[in-house]
Every structure is written in structure tokens, then in C-alpha cells.
Amino acid sequence: MKIAVAGTGYVGLITGVCLAEMGYDVVCSDIREEKVLLLQSGCAPIFEPGLDSMLKRNLDAGRLLFTTDPELAYKNAELIFIAVGTPENPDGTANLDHVYEAAYTIGLCIDKDSIICTKSTVPVGTNERIKEIIRSVKPAHLEIQTVSTPEFLREGNAMYDFFYGDRIIIGTESEEAAKIVEQVFLPLKIPLIKTDTRSAEMIKYASNAFLATKISFINEIAAICDKVGANIEEVAFGIGKDRRIGPQFLQAGIGYGGSCFPKDTKALVQIAGNVEHQFELLEAVIKINIRQQLLAVQKAKELFGSLEGLRVAVLGLSFKPDTDDIREAASITILKALLAEGASVIAYDPVAISNARRVFGDEIEFTADIQTAISGAELSLIATEWDHIKYLPLEKYVQLMANPVIIDGRNCYSLKDVSKYPITYISIGRSALHPEQAQQHTRPGPNMKGRYDETITSILSD
Ligand code: NAD
């Protein structure tokens, strides 16, 4: 069976490479020539553990092809996956331009009966529109069916998730198409859930909204722990032991980011709004997350007063560990706020620097060496829980910072460990350590509170 994939981003590339690894002949198409040239030479344009070797292996085996030529991609294909981006419109709705363009091109190029599976995250009703578009341009004698197959991979664990995911959703009104898609994924032995198209589309949004809700929920509890002297980690452990709740997504921190949760939660609020339902719970989740992303800067302001000229090392740029993706990362919000406050910033990340440089240019210094980042810094602010950061010995902060202060936005260190060192340590939902030393750090600045409020207002209105 020949399979085609439209889009070679995080989802399309992983799908194409992993399907080839399963033994299928796969052609991946993208509109970006530089990306395709890189892929043809065996280099992945994204960082994803395990991807490089699997990509090369399947290119060498001749099962995997990359092209910008849609005819080459879609001719003869029996199954075509649409995995193009669905970014956020300024009003929060999902932008479906890429999806509809891909559908149109597929309709023009196919030359046999085919099944079009949409992996892109799309609002309810989009697969019906995709079918209409393809039908409007395809040769009249051809039959097509559409299937909603939403994607649940986690960046950083994407290869694992393809082969060992929790479930595969197959949403379609065509029994025949469902059977064919089922056969393709059957060897993976992952539970397959067959449902109607609209429910499949909704499952994706509802899943992301629920996970985002868990994160904002624990962050609200953390905010209260901060004030009542409880420890959020003890609390999360205690509630996570309840099997009805579960331990996952109960890590308090500076909020969720990435290419999915922020845009998908906003899109679901809009989807609900379109049918005159105000999704108040999700609106609160989004609002809490915006506040949370700025919490580390707020804590720095409380500690130092003015951040003007303060040497700050921001540790971690990607929205989570093991990816180079910085889309909607908390680090971006933090860096913007620090720059607005006049701080002098150096940022460390093991893999995401080139992506961050595209956003900040020369406004901040970058380093891929964590010790260089913290050397001489007056504040180290942890934004991503990379292992490189979590396992950096605490002595290093003592050795390399004159008066070590850490604001840990991801609760990377245990309070017990930090308490052994002369480090001022502020984390999320846990007691501050050595706050008495904090007095030494205060640097009165002009109209501090007002300026911080202005910064927040301008970042929120971005
Ligand atoms: P991405 O932005 O990384 O990649 C999209 C790719 O599609 C780009 O390379 C772009 O050039 C290409 N493209 C655009 N128009 C095209 C066309 N007409 N034909 C061929 N290629 C085209 O996006 P992504 O992160 O892979 O996400 C894709 C979809 O999957 C989105 O809807 C996203 O919400 C969803 N999703 C993403 C993740 C994730 O972790 N990234 C997880 C689950 C679902």
C-alpha cells in the first residue's frame, strides 16, 4: 500500500517515518523546499529523540520519500494523511487555510480511489468540508472517503507514542474506510476506537482541554499553598494517588505552552461560542495559564524590586524538555517581560537556541553551556525542566553566582537538597528558602509596581 503524508512538521514527519518503519511505502510532501531538501539528505529539521536514525534507515531502505511535488506524492496513494499546521487566528479560532489548500491539491492530484485521513487538529465539521473540497476538483470517476484520525503524540516522546500510544481514534461514516485504516494500524496493537467523524474531531479538543485544565487546577492549588504554607508537591502526591484523579499533569509550575494546548483551548472556546455556549471553565483555565507564565517574573520583582540592569540567566527555552519547539513557551513570555523590565538576559538551552534566536535576535545572549549562563548571574530563572538543569549540582550555583538566587519555575530541586546550600530559592507552591537573604537583593527602582503592571498589560495584549 502506498501512503502519502501532507506536511512534514512534528506530526507529519513522525507519522511518515514511523509508517515507513512499519514497512509501508510512504511519500511525504511539504511546500517548503528547504525542509524537503534537508529531509532528502537524511537530516531531520526538528529535534526529536530517536528520529534521526529511523529517518536515515527508512530513506536507505527506499521506503520513504520526500518531495515538494504534490503529483508525485498523491498519485497512486491509497491512503493520504493531512498533517499540516492549524495555527491560531488573531481571534483564537483555528486557521484552516493550510488544511483546505492541502485538500484542494490532493483533489487535483489523486488518480485512484483514496481515503483521506486528517491528523491535523481541526474543529468539528472540518472533515466534511475537506470532503467537499476534494470532491469539487477530483476526477468524477474516483471515490474518496474521509476519516478523522486526530494525533495525540507528545513532542519529546513522539516516536514512543506512535508505537505505544494509548489509543487510535478512527472517526468516519464509512465502514469500509474505517476497516482499511484499522488494518494499517492493527500491527501496533494499540486500542482502536471507531466513532463518527464529529465525535473524533471533538475527542482531540476535549483531551487537550482536559489536560490543560488539570495543569491550571494544580497551579491554582499551588497559589493557595504558597499563601497557607502547604507544599504543593505533597498535596499533588496525595491527590494523585486517588485512581480517579491520577498523578499525571499535576506538576505545578509556570504553566503550559507548546503548539497545541494554548491554541486548542482557545479554539475550543470559540467552537463552543459558535453554538452559543460560553465555556467558562476553559476560559478560566486559559486566564490562569497566562498569569502563571508571568509568575516567575512577578516573584523576581518581589525579590529584587527593580530588574533594571539585573543579570538574569534564563535556564530552558523549549516549552518542555526533549524538544526544540518554543511555540507559546513560558520562556518567551518571561524573556519579553524581563527585557521590558530592562534586565540583561542570557538564555541557556541544549537544543532550542536557533528557534529562540529567530524571535529575539541579538536582544539577548544565548549559550548552550549552562555553567556559562549562570556564571556571574544575579538571578537564575528555571523555565524548562531539562535533565541538564535538574541534575546540575547545586554547588555550581554557589561557585558561579556571587550571591546565588534561583527562581525555579518547574520545581526541579527538592527543598531538602537546596536547604543545604546558601541559596535563596523560590519555587512554585512551596516555601521560599533563605528568604531572609532576599533583603540583600532588593534594588529599589522607579515606580516598581506600576511598571510591572504595565509590562503585564502589554504582554497580555500582545
Ligand atoms: P508544523 O507547523 O510543525 O508543520 C506543518 C507542516 O505542514 C509545515 O512543514 C508546513 O510547511 C507544511 N504545510 C503547510 N501547508 C502544506 C500543504 N498545503 N501541503 C504540504 N505541506 C504543507 O505543525 P505540527 O506541529 O506538525 O502540527 C500539525 C497539526 O497536528 C496541527 O493541527 C497540530 O495542532 C496537530 N498536532 C500537533 C502536535 C504536536 O505536538 N506538534 C500534536 C498533536 C496534534
User: What are the DSSP calls for 413-434, one per residue?
Assistant: S-HHHHTTSS-EEE-SSS--BS
Provide the pLDDT for residue 250: 98
Question: Confidence band (pLDDT; 50, 70, 90) for 440?
Answer: low
Average pLDDT, the chain: 94
What is the whole-number distance in angstroms between the Cα of residue 41 and the centre of ligand 1? 21
Nearest residue CA, atom 17 of ligand 1? Answer: 102
pTM of the model: 0.93
Query: Thinking of the domain 2-197, which architecture would CATH place it in?
Result: 3-Layer(aba) Sandwich (3.40)
CA torsion sign, 347 to 350 to 354 to 356? Answer: negative
Q: How far is CA 353 from the centre of its chain?
A: 16
Do residues 24 and 162 make contact, with C-beta atoms less than 8 angstroms apart? no
Q: Which of 65, 71, 151, 266 to mutate to test the pocket of ligand 1 (most atoms within 8 A of CB)?
A: 151
Provide the pLDDT for residue 337: 98
CA distance 113 to 427: 57
Nearest residue CA, atom 34 of ligand 1? Answer: 121
- The 10s digit of each residue's pLDDT in 256-273 is 999 999 999 999 999 999
Provide the pLDDT for residue 434: 81
Domains 204-292 and 294-461 share a fold: no
CA distance 361 to 111: 46
Average pLDDT over residues 54-58: 98
Task: Give the number of the atom of ligand 1 that is nearest the alpha carbon of residue 153.
Answer: 42
| Residue linked to cell 479560532 | 93
Beginning with the edge strand found earlier in the chain, give each strand of the sheet holding 64-67 in spatial order: 64-67, 25-29, 2-6, 79-82, 114-118, 144-148, 168-171, 192-195
CA distance 332 to 349: 13
CATH code, 294-461: 3.40.50.720
What is the whole-number distance in angstroms between the Cα of residue 172 and the centre of ligand 1? 21
What is the whole-number distance in angstroms between the Cα of residue 272 and the centre of ligand 1? 24
Domain spanning 204-292: which superfamily?
N-(1-d-carboxylethyl)-l-norvaline Dehydrogenase; domain 2 (1.10.1040.10)
What does R_g of the chain's alpha carbons equal in angstroms?
A: 24
Do residues 64 and 17 make contact, with C-beta atoms less than 8 angstroms apart? yes
The candidate with the shortest Cα–Cα distance to 250, out of 225, 268, 274, 278, is 225
Domain ranges of the chain: 2-197, 204-292, 294-461
CA distance 198 to 178: 14
Task: Say if strands 379-382 and 114-118 run parallel, antiparallel, or are unpaired.
Answer: unpaired
DSSP-assigned letters across all residues of 189-227: ---EEEE-HHHHHHHHHHHHHHHHHHHHHHHHHHHHHHH
Nearest residue CA, atom 12 of ligand 1? Answer: 7
Residues forming a β-bridge with 81: 5, 117
Residues forming a β-bridge with 145: 115
DSSP-assigned letters across all residues of 76-126: T-SEEEE-----B-TTSPBP-HHHHHHHHHHHHH--S-EEEEE-S---TTH
What is the whole-number distance in angstroms between the Cα of residue 387 and the centre of ligand 1? 27
Task: Give the number of the atom of ligand 1 that is nearest the alpha carbon of residue 86.
Answer: 32
pLDDT at 116 over 70: yes
Q: Which of 5, 8, 11, 88 to mutate to test the pocket of ligand 1 (most atoms within 8 A of CB)?
A: 11
Task: Give the number of the atom of ligand 1 that is nearest the alpha carbon of residue 325.
Answer: 41
SS3 254: coil
- Cβ count near 436 (within 10 Å): 9
Task: Give the number of the atom of ligand 1 that is nearest the alpha carbon of residue 152.
Answer: 43
Do residues 423 and 404 make contact, with C-beta atoms less than 8 angstroms apart? yes
- The 10s digit of each residue's pLDDT in 183-231 is 999 999 999 999 999 999 999 999 999 999 999 999 999 999 999 999 9
Q: Which of 84, 104, 166, 205 to mutate to test the pocket of ligand 1 (most atoms within 8 A of CB)?
A: 84
Nearest residue CA, atom 32 of ligand 1? Answer: 120
What is the whole-number distance in angstroms between the Cα of residue 82 and the centre of ligand 1? 9
The candidate with the shortest Cα–Cα distance to 270, out of 282, 260, 258, is 282
Residue type, 214: K
Provide the pLDDT for residue 447: 41
What is the whole-number distance in angstroms between the Cα of residue 249 and the centre of ligand 1? 24
- The 10s digit of each residue's pLDDT in 157-178 is 999 999 999 999 999 999 999 9
What is the whole-number distance in angstroms between the Cα of residue 297 and the centre of ligand 1? 32
- The 10s digit of each residue's pLDDT in 363-417 is 999 999 999 999 999 999 999 999 999 999 999 999 999 999 999 999 999 999 9
Catalytic residues: 260
Task: Give the number of the atom of ligand 1 that is nearest the alpha carbon of residue 122.
Answer: 32
Provide the pLDDT for residue 462: 45
Residues with CB under 6 A from ligand 1: 6-12, 29-32, 35, 83-86, 98, 101-102, 105, 119-121, 151, 153, 155, 259-260
